[in-house]
Chain A
């Protein structure tokens, strides 16, 4: 059973499970990189700067596609077996399982777990879970709280499709690109990518800076595995919802196999179909696994988005130009052509029967600037008292963007990141407070504006967001705001 790490340390940061993990990490770190059960070899399976030795499957991590969840579940599963073997070799708990970090909880759970902040173990020996600066963002390393907008999985939980685009999907876009572009799923975007960036801090080549922020270094940070255990847990929770959530039934997803190493160092292979049921097939559960009905009641019927859209989303508004984010406040204006105004004013839109999506597309950057961009709709930049949660559309990160620029990378990524948000609820709530008649639409459309604010960042923080475009019907008057936040 995988347990909540904050639950383990209720009385003492050094629960036997957490301490066993720390000691097993030390054992694995002492092994040479040629050993498949070593710390560095395992991290290299995810991604690394080093060239893979013959026979090794390195740089294999799947991001930005529908394989994200399945690949990381397999990865974590074999890693856990390796750690458990190491734990047992040093006399630790026989039922060891990787704990998870559920940061989407009030203080102190939304801070880095205590054992990752202690330089030493209880016996005074060095603590491998602790990383000296600059391997983690200073504020987080010192116990700063993660904001709810960063840790919340509610947007992901509200999706009803596994696959997206078109529209937001829980698990990501289909590759090979029959839909022209792959895309990260909602859970991968937030909280997964956001936590990577916030915990990681500033990237630096060859893993000399923040580890979590760069896929080639991320798995070297012991918190990585607790983060991914949480993501894996959230996948199970989503499936337990009674909102139509289900895994893909396409054979391309079910039969796709990936290769890892087990605790003996032997190469092992799993397919999607072999890992969909973690309890039955992989023999682990989470300590909070809910009865399916509990969740069903709270979620059922809340989101009217149809599972299979009958017709493709229809573009109703888009930006005129590319947006460069270089550290200054920016306004992003959406143009609503006259021909789509009537669609925006339709009852289907007013009642939420038609979903409204907002895409931030063709995002390009040379490397991840290590910041999170927060997108708001219709929030005036000069209003410090604005209720940010009310206007919050979602978060944009550039996690892993470096490797999308490399045609030789093993990643099946498609250049140009894309984020799709379901803005039905946000737009609906904003409209309730400001009902408008159709005649007024036209005028407002031409004057409505959007704001983007960013804070100064590194020279690499250049983000080219091509289109902040809303597909599907949408109400006008919702300026878009992108804020590069300083969490």
Chain B
């Protein structure tokens, strides 16, 4: 009995240090949903990303609805893990009564930016597809862009900037605005840092869970390692290897 209560207490302290845990749970749920969608869609043999690629009028239709929902899930699954420390920062730097609200506002604005990016990316990809290039060429081009992006100064700058925090006022509309502003700003840096990688996801679709998982791990590792051990170049190398692989083995995606 005492053992159990002390275990509960320890658990409580651990969770108190990690107020972002509900957001982490949502990330896990997003992954579960994506896996479920993948399982059902592969049974039906249909793939949302390939629907209506031909007619320009169908572009927006293809982007809308289902594609956008799966994009939002993908954004939560892939892009929120990297920002969990920021969610914790928001939680611990808000007064107790406002913690949940502050973290929710932060996370919602962060994901909203990624969804907006998704609309643009999906429209762009659908437009490119309608011009009818080889699908392999499209994947290859995105891979090369993503790999080169890893080596740029903008990329490094954004990764460093992601650790920057902003003032969070304590109460009232200012506090809410502070959380939203921080979320938008962090997502903006993240778009600069990881945008090309997500463009790749817009091309190959949410169906490729292995690629999704690999990219998520790479992005989180790149952010978490110290600046001494920059991982941007190795991640870029992996992308370049993927590009070569795409050329050698057609139709792999």
Chain A residue nearest in CB terms to B93: A315
Contact B164 A415, beta carbon cutoff 8 Å? yes
Contact A177 B228, beta carbon cutoff 8 Å? no
Choose one: B93, B168, B226; the contact of A175 (CB below 8 Å).
B226
Question: Which residues of B (148-180) have their CB < 8 Å from a CB of A?
Answer: 153, 156-157, 159-161, 163-171, 174
Contact B169 A310, beta carbon cutoff 8 Å? no
Q: Which residues of B contact A469 (CB under 8 A)?
A: 93, 170
A175-B226, A411-B227 are known contacts. Are A315 and B156 too (CB-CB below 8 A)? no
Expressed in whole angstroms, the minimum distance between the Cβ of B55 and any Cβ of chain A is 44
As a 0/1 sequence over residues 458 to 487 of chain A, the CB contacts with chain B under 8 angstroms (1 = contact) are 000000001101010000000000000000
The reply to whether the CB of B13 lies closer than 8 angstroms to some CB of chain A is yes
Cα separation A260 to B123 with both chains bound (whole Å): 54
Question: Which residues of B (9-23) have their CB < 8 Å from a CB of A?
Answer: 13, 16-17, 19
The reply to whether the CB of B95 lies closer than 8 angstroms to some CB of chain A is yes
Contact B226 A315, beta carbon cutoff 8 Å? no
Contact B169 A407, beta carbon cutoff 8 Å? no
Cα separation A158 to B161 with both chains bound (whole Å): 33
The reply to whether the CB of B85 lies closer than 8 angstroms to some CB of chain A is yes
Cα separation A81 to B86 with both chains bound (whole Å): 44
Contact A312 B16, beta carbon cutoff 8 Å? yes
The reply to whether the CB of B225 lies closer than 8 angstroms to some CB of chain A is yes
Contact B165 A361, beta carbon cutoff 8 Å? yes
The reply to whether the CB of A134 lies closer than 8 angstroms to some CB of chain B is no
Q: Which residues of A contact B94 (CB under 8 A)?
A: 315
Q: Which of B92, B169, B170: most chain A Cβ within 10 A?
A: B170
Contact B95 A316, beta carbon cutoff 8 Å? yes
Q: Which residues of B contact A414 (CB under 8 A)?
A: 163-164
The reply to whether the CB of B100 lies closer than 8 angstroms to some CB of chain A is no
**Could you tell me how many residues of chain B have their Cβ less than 8 Å away from some Cβ of chain A?**
35
Contact B95 A412, beta carbon cutoff 8 Å? no
The reply to whether the CB of A321 lies closer than 8 angstroms to some CB of chain B is yes
Contact B163 A410, beta carbon cutoff 8 Å? no
Cα separation A146 to B153 with both chains bound (whole Å): 42
Cα separation A166 to B16 with both chains bound (whole Å): 13
Choose one: B17, B167, B170; the contact of A312 (CB below 8 Å).
B17
The reply to whether the CB of B38 lies closer than 8 angstroms to some CB of chain A is no
The reply to whether the CB of B96 lies closer than 8 angstroms to some CB of chain A is yes
Expressed in whole angstroms, the minimum distance between the Cβ of B229 and any Cβ of chain A is 8
Cα separation A471 to B89 with both chains bound (whole Å): 13
Q: Which residues of A contact B88 (CB under 8 A)?
A: 180
Contact A412 B163, beta carbon cutoff 8 Å? no
Q: Which residues of B contact A310 (CB under 8 A)?
A: 13
The reply to whether the CB of A104 lies closer than 8 angstroms to some CB of chain B is no
Q: Which residues of B contact A361 (CB under 8 A)?
A: 165, 167
A176-B225, A311-B13, A407-B157 are known contacts. Are A362 and B169 too (CB-CB below 8 A)? no
Cα separation A318 to B171 with both chains bound (whole Å): 9
A315-B92, A315-B94 are known contacts. Are A320 and B165 too (CB-CB below 8 A)? no
- A residues near B (Cβ < 8 Å) are 166, 175-178, 180-181, 310-322, 335-337, 339-340, 361-362, 407-408, 410-416, 466-467, 469, 471
- B residues near A (Cβ < 8 Å) are 13, 16-17, 19, 85-86, 88-89, 92-97, 153, 156-157, 159-161, 163-171, 174, 224-228
